[in-house]
Chain A
Amino acid sequence: MSVDVETVRRVARLARIAVSDEDANRMTGELNAILGFVEQLGEVDVTGVEPMTSVIPMAMKKRQDGVTDGNKAADIVANAPATDENFFLVPKVVE
């Protein structure tokens, strides 16, 4: 399989990365080189093979559903580019 420039634009939109025309053209070639490389996986017979979910067999650890952390709003927003009274600020999303 290979991708065209339109597909690259669509994927970039899904990935939330702005791309210029030049970026999209360059990425099309690069992505096709990588997709060409991974194509060989198609020749492996995987009949009856389960997809890997965990390299080390282990039971999922569980704990009591209780509060173990919190009350550190100032720490949580400390690195944010824009905040107001411990809230993250973003461009207006609802008119």
Chain B
Amino acid sequence: MSDLTALTIAEARKALRDKKFTAVELADAYLAAIDRANPQLNAYVKVTHDKARAMAKASDARLAAGEGGALEGIPIGIKDLFATEGVHTQACSHILDGFEPRYESTVTANLWADGAVMLGKLNMDEFAMGSSNETSYYGPVINPWRRAKAGGQGNMQLVPGGSSGGSAAAVAAMLCAGATATDTGGSIRQPAAFTGTVGIKPTYGRCSRWGTVAFASSLDQAGPIARDVRDAAILLKSMASVDAKDTTSVDRPVPDYEAALGRSLKGIRVGIPKEYRVEGMPQEIEALWQQGVAWLKDAGAEVVDVSLPHTKYALPAYYIVAPAEASSNLARYDGVRYGLRLPGKDIVDMYEKTRAAGFGREVKRRIMIGTYVLSAGYYDAYYIQAQKVRTLIKRDFEQVFDAGVDVILTPATPSAAFGVADQDMAADPVKMYLNDIFTVTVNMAGLPGIAVPAGLDGQGLPLGLQLIGRPFDEETLFQAGHVIEQAAGRFTPQAWW
């Protein structure tokens, strides 16, 4: 084994059980790779060297005793949004300076119970608000992918997408075997598409939200980003659970997602929604979408045209619902119980100065929008109207599924990765928001969605396709996603870091 970090989770899991190398050796290989690459990529905001080695050592003892769990000895990166006991947990915000929770999130506790090893905490957009990982207090993550041209544009730094940009970049650059991530409007699927990795947002309620820093509670879901579809299936199986500490977590068995891989698509009906053919979409993305249709047909699926008429209203409705919930959730950061505190002449002055200094621009913008749409006189016109539109968006999907469609195929993003500090997006927040145009509908309806890499654009950058499923039918997403992966192959960036 020359490069242990090149192995998928499935490969490393087998090799560890076969005693080809130890979990400590595997963890050390990743730690060395992180120490080498992180100054360029900025994917990790905290590397937990000692904890990783201690956890790996315990995994080796369990493997030797034949008691290894499903993820025994597998090194994982954790998005900074998940509470990890005694370890940096700041949602990449200045306002949570120094916060080290005295408790563990349910999702990470599930991973550790299965034997996974923590490498550290991953960079992200502040409070998961962003689509480029540029709103992080810790600075942007750099996409391990570069444009194919030599020199000039070829050396331009690209964003990895967001908000789970650190997770996606770390997986793509082989700085962890897999990563946790969260998705409120596309924050798993868009960065997965930008980095040639696989990301799944499961059905709302599939993973417990307990111990995950809240952004928009009715939309937030945890999920994995992984090198391939099988690894994503392995990770989700471990992360998902019912949890008494989150009353929205769902009490139904977690299937063996891996078993869905390799099943034929005969009898599966795939819907192609015409509303996802948006104005200004690059021809390459349209071609990729058609290629995806052909691959699924070749695998035996029946493909039908469908209509989701309220699609165009999903993003505007999201930009009312998500900021409204965020303004309420982020009220807790007041300089009293944790994190940053600036002195003030009285308590209100202390709150106002602390929050002004602690939150970044994008977070403030969303708190302001949320506060405004929930304020007296505007609540019905904005918030209630948006929640009614949300009912219609969900109904669109229900009608398509009721008509016999099993899974919906769309592009994952309207473009490939763009440059760091893009001038157009900096000038107009709505331009940045449009990144989530294909993913946000899924959160609004609570459905599962997976992004699978499907090809490279003319500049050599990865592009992804998205599959959307029925509630709690993640299995069909893994099944169809695997078909796309088998046809498209896997995509790995050339190491330059």
State in angstroms the CA–CA spacing of A71 and B312 once bound together: 50
State in angstroms the CA–CA spacing of A63 and B351 once bound together: 35
Binds A, one of B188-196, B300-308, B335-343: B335-343
Whether B367 and A17, one on each chain, are in contact in the complex, defined by CB atoms closer than 8 angstroms, is yes
Binding site of A, secondary structure by majority: helix, strand, loop or mixed? loop
State in angstroms the CA–CA spacing of A92 and B153 once bound together: 57
Interface flag for B369 (CB, 8 Å): yes
Question: Which residues of B does A touch, CB under 8 Å?
Answer: 98-103, 203-205, 218, 244, 247-248, 250, 310, 312-313, 316-317, 319-320, 327, 331, 334-341, 344-353, 355-356, 359, 364-365, 367-369, 371-372, 375, 378, 381-382, 384-392, 394, 428-430, 433, 444-446, 471
| CB within 8 Å of B: which A1-46 residues | 1, 3, 7-8, 11-19, 27, 30-31, 33-35, 37-42, 44, 46
State in angstroms the CA–CA spacing of A68 and B204 once bound together: 26
| CB within 8 Å of B: which A58-95 residues | 58, 60-61, 63, 72, 75-82, 88, 90-93
State in angstroms the CA–CA spacing of A42 and B316 once bound together: 10
Whether B350 and A79, one on each chain, are in contact in the complex, defined by CB atoms closer than 8 angstroms, is no
Interfacial chain B residues near A31, Cβ < 8 Å: 365, 368-369, 372
Interfacial chain B residues near A82, Cβ < 8 Å: 341
State in angstroms the CA–CA spacing of A56 and B1 once bound together: 46
State in angstroms the CA–CA spacing of A23 and B166 once bound together: 29
Given known contacts A49-B392, A80-B337, A91-B347, is B248 in contact with A17 (CB within 8 Å)? Answer: no
* Residue in B316, B340, B390 whose CB lies within 8 Å of A40: B316
Given known contacts A50-B391, A56-B471, is B429 in contact with A34 (CB within 8 Å)? Answer: yes
Can you pick out 24 interface pairs between chain A and chain B where the beta carbons lie within 8 Å of each other?
A: A11-B371, A11-B372, A12-B368, A16-B351, A17-B364, A17-B367, A17-B368, A27-B365, A31-B369, A31-B372, A37-B319, A37-B433, A40-B312, A41-B320, A41-B385, A41-B386, A42-B381, A44-B313, A51-B388, A55-B446, A58-B205, A80-B336, A81-B335, A81-B338
Interfacial chain A residues near B340, Cβ < 8 Å: 81
Given known contacts A14-B375, A60-B247, A90-B336, is B388 in contact with A52 (CB within 8 Å)? Answer: yes
Whether B387 and A90, one on each chain, are in contact in the complex, defined by CB atoms closer than 8 angstroms, is no
State in angstroms the CA–CA spacing of A40 and B378 once bound together: 15
Whether A41 and B389, one on each chain, are in contact in the complex, defined by CB atoms closer than 8 angstroms, is yes
Whether A55 and B371, one on each chain, are in contact in the complex, defined by CB atoms closer than 8 angstroms, is no
Interfacial chain A residues near B384, Cβ < 8 Å: 51
Residue of B nearest to A40 (CB): B316
State in angstroms the CA–CA spacing of A90 and B352 once bound together: 14
Whether A46 and B392, one on each chain, are in contact in the complex, defined by CB atoms closer than 8 angstroms, is yes
Interfacial chain B residues near A44, Cβ < 8 Å: 310, 313, 385, 388-389, 392
Whether A90 and B375, one on each chain, are in contact in the complex, defined by CB atoms closer than 8 angstroms, is no
State in angstroms the CA–CA spacing of A38 and B378 once bound together: 13
Whether A79 and B338, one on each chain, are in contact in the complex, defined by CB atoms closer than 8 angstroms, is yes
Whether B428 and A90, one on each chain, are in contact in the complex, defined by CB atoms closer than 8 angstroms, is no
Whether A15 and B98, one on each chain, are in contact in the complex, defined by CB atoms closer than 8 angstroms, is no
Residue of A nearest to B323 (CB): A34
**Extra pairs beyond A35-B369, A38-B382 (6, CB < 8 Å):** A16-B331, A18-B352, A19-B356, A50-B391, A56-B446, A91-B349
Q: A81: shortest Cβ distance to chain B, in Å?
A: 4
State in angstroms the CA–CA spacing of A92 and B350 once bound together: 11
Given known contacts A16-B352, A37-B319, A80-B337, is B344 in contact with A49 (CB within 8 Å)? Answer: no
Whether A1 and B381, one on each chain, are in contact in the complex, defined by CB atoms closer than 8 angstroms, is yes
Whether B391 and A27, one on each chain, are in contact in the complex, defined by CB atoms closer than 8 angstroms, is no
Interfacial chain B residues near A34, Cβ < 8 Å: 319, 365, 369, 429-430
State in angstroms the CA–CA spacing of A31 and B394 once bound together: 27
State in angstroms the CA–CA spacing of A52 and B445 once bound together: 10
Residue of B nearest to A47 (CB): B388
Interfacial chain A residues near B385, Cβ < 8 Å: 41-42, 44, 46
Residue of B nearest to A88 (CB): B336
State in angstroms the CA–CA spacing of A13 and B331 once bound together: 13
* Residue in A11, A27, A79, A93 whose CB lies within 8 Å of B375: A11
Whether B339 and A91, one on each chain, are in contact in the complex, defined by CB atoms closer than 8 angstroms, is no
State in angstroms the CA–CA spacing of A56 and B57 once bound together: 41
Question: Max chain A CB contacts within 10 Å: which of B203, B310, B341?
Answer: B341
Interfacial chain B residues near A63, Cβ < 8 Å: 244
